[in-house]
Amino acid sequence: MSKNQSKVSRRAFLSNAAVIGATSTLGAGGLLSACSGGNNENKLTPLRLPGEYYIPDLPDKAYDGKPIRAALIGCGGRGTGASVNFLEAADGVSIVACADIFMDRMERCRAMLKEKNNVIADDMCFLGFDAYKKVCDLDVDLVLIVSPELFHPEHLRYAIEKGKNVFIEKPAAIDPAGYRKYLSAVKQAQSKGLCIVTGTQRRHQRGYVESYKKVQEGYIGRIVSGAVYWNQSHMEYGQRQPGWTDMEYMLRCYLYWNWLGGDHVIHQMVHNLDVFTWFAHLKPLRVIGMGARQRRVDGDIYDTFGVDFEYENGIHVLGMARQIDNCDNRVAEVIQGTKGQWNSLDGKFTISDLDGNVIWQYDEEAAKGQFKQHDPYTLEHVNLINHLRKGTVINFAEETATSSLACIMARESAYTGKAYTWDEMAQSDLNFWPDEWHLGNVDKSKFTIPLPGTAPKGSNTIWWQQ
């Protein structure tokens, strides 16, 4: 990539701050704990000045204002959870319609929302692969998109086309074709002045927000490297039930299948990598990774990944992802600077100097005394609703797309054993979207486990493309 291209990409990261608006007054003073031996703030060299980066306003509950009517796409566990988070984030909000492929999931979701005094009428519930269009065609202010990962770009495209504000879960996409469709929808939303908040909830988690401010203020100096981890035990996605067709099984247990869920290096590690992308305001340029399948019993995804992400300015980030029982776990991020290190290890947010002395740590107890709401899954809706009621725009979906494509690069590199550049992957014709949707059986023998070194670069295809 040329120097001019690099500069343009960095400006693109900062452009959203101008769109969103000025920084808020979070009242952070009571949340910060400076330890002895710390840096003198007067000597810090900020990475960015206040006003050049966005800090969300995060009260316990959204400010009162106009009623907001929302529709839900995707009534599974996460969709139900996001709906509850939305309802708890503010007064005067409601979910008036829902869409899913399966009736049983829809009914469970409706029952849960009814317990929250939110009743969705029978004639506002839509089933089928085209149900997302029916709820977007309604007179609603906001659409909650919490469908399986493959569907995100198409569902976002249609919602924005219909002029709806959107909350959409991560990742942005799981293939390059979806990435481009998603990015096109984001650009259209920007031109229409629509809000998009994505499910990268760390951007609304109080400890991460305060850490981000400190890094921008220069506490660790210039960023030079990083490491991100999502290592956990295996995830129970569900068992196939008698009477399910192949497609029904895949859709209900979509995280087993690369073409629907994108593998866990995208589904989970996108959170960690998005933290680095957010803090550093830089773009990944090249990725090389490796992975393996050692314990999976079904599906076609891996259970381990190790990845080297090369960002602008020659900065390297180590990425590790694993889903295997009886191993040491870690879900965290580490960012190294010229003056010190920030990390989120052990559920804490800490900055240390180059000698390992703690110079700042997020004070969780003080935060509990100042705020009642600490759930980032709820706070992301608080922030979105505040922007909708104030008539201001928030849209950082482009950055979510950047982190998602980097994880797509990681998966493809591990699957093939080849390195990928940003431009190469962004322009790839890899596309998991099927020619048609149905709920019947398929030839599952065509879903093979990827073997690095056995396929030409860029040849990772799926059954309906062969």
Q: How many helices (H) and strands (E) does the chain have?
A: 15, 16
What pLDDT, on a 0 to 100 scale, did the predictor assign at position 18? 33
Residue pair 461/448 in contact (Cβ under 8 Å)? The answer is: no
Q: Which residues of 350-364 are buried (b: 16+ CB within 10 A; e: fewer)?
A: bbbbeeeebbbbbbb
Verdict on whether the full-model pTM lies above 0.85: yes
In whole angstroms, give the CA distance from residue 166 to residue 75.
16
Q: How confident is the model at residue 436 (pLDDT cuts 50, 70, 90)?
A: very high
Kindly state whether residue 432 falls inside one of the protein's structural domains. Answer: yes
pLDDT computed for residue 64 by the predictor? 98
Task: State the greatest distance between any 2 C-alpha atoms of the chain, in Å, as a whole number.
Answer: 68
Do the bridges between strand 165-168 and strand 142-145 make them parallel or antiparallel, or are there none, so unpaired? parallel
Average pLDDT value for residue range 300-322: 97
- The percent of residues above 90 in pLDDT, for the chain, comes to 85
Residue of 437, 428, 388 lying closest to 127 (CA atoms) = 437
Count of structural domains within the chain: 1
pLDDT in tens, 278-288: 999 999 999 99
Q: Note the pLDDT of residue 455.
A: 63
C-alpha to C-alpha distance for 369 and 385, rounded to whole angstroms: 24
Distance between CA atoms of residues 379 and 385, nearest Å? 10
Q: How many CB atoms lie within 10 A of CB 109?
A: 25
Q: Of 15-24, 72-81, 108-117, 333-342, where does mean pLDDT reach its minimum? A: 15-24
192 inside domain: no
10 Å Cβ neighbour count for 443?
Answer: 10
In-domain check, residue 180: no
Q: 148 lies in a domain?
A: no
Contact 144, 72 (CB under 8 A): yes
Q: Which of 350, 368, 366 is nearest to 211 (CA)?
A: 350
> For position 445, what pLDDT does the model report?
82
Q: Is 12 part of any domain?
A: no
The reply to whether 57 falls in a domain is: no
Please write the tens of the pLDDT for every residue from 253-266: 999 999 999 999 99
Beta strands 93-100; 125-127: pairing state: parallel
Instruction: Report residue 235's pLDDT band, with 50, 70 and 90 as the boundaries.
Output: confident
Beta bridge partners, 225, equal 316, 336
| Predicted local confidence at residue 426, as pLDDT | 97
Residue 292 DSSP symbol: E
pLDDT digits (tens, 9 = 90+) for 159-183: 999 999 999 999 999 999 999 999 9
Residue range 134-164, pLDDT digits in tens: 999 999 999 999 999 999 999 999 999 999 9
The length of the chain in residues reads 466
Residue 251 lies in a domain: yes
Predicted local distance difference test score (pLDDT) of residue 9: 39
CB-CB contact of 451 with 459 (8 Å):
no
The pLDDT, as a whole number, for residue 236 is 80
Which tens digit of pLDDT belongs to each residue from 314-361? 999 999 999 999 999 999 999 999 999 999 999 999 999 999 999 999
Question: At 438, which CATH number?
Answer: 3.30.360.10
- Structural domain containing residue 299: 223-371+403-465
Residue 466 binned pLDDT confidence (cut-offs 50, 70, 90) = very low
Report angle CA 215, 219, 222 to the nearest 5 degrees.
70
Residue 234 has pLDDT above 80, yes or no: yes
Q: Which of 205-214, 294-303, 400-409 has the lowest mean pLDDT?
A: 294-303
**Looking at the domain assignment, is residue 398 inside a domain?**
no
Average predicted confidence (pLDDT) for the chain = 90
Rg (alpha carbons) of the chain, rounded to whole number: 22
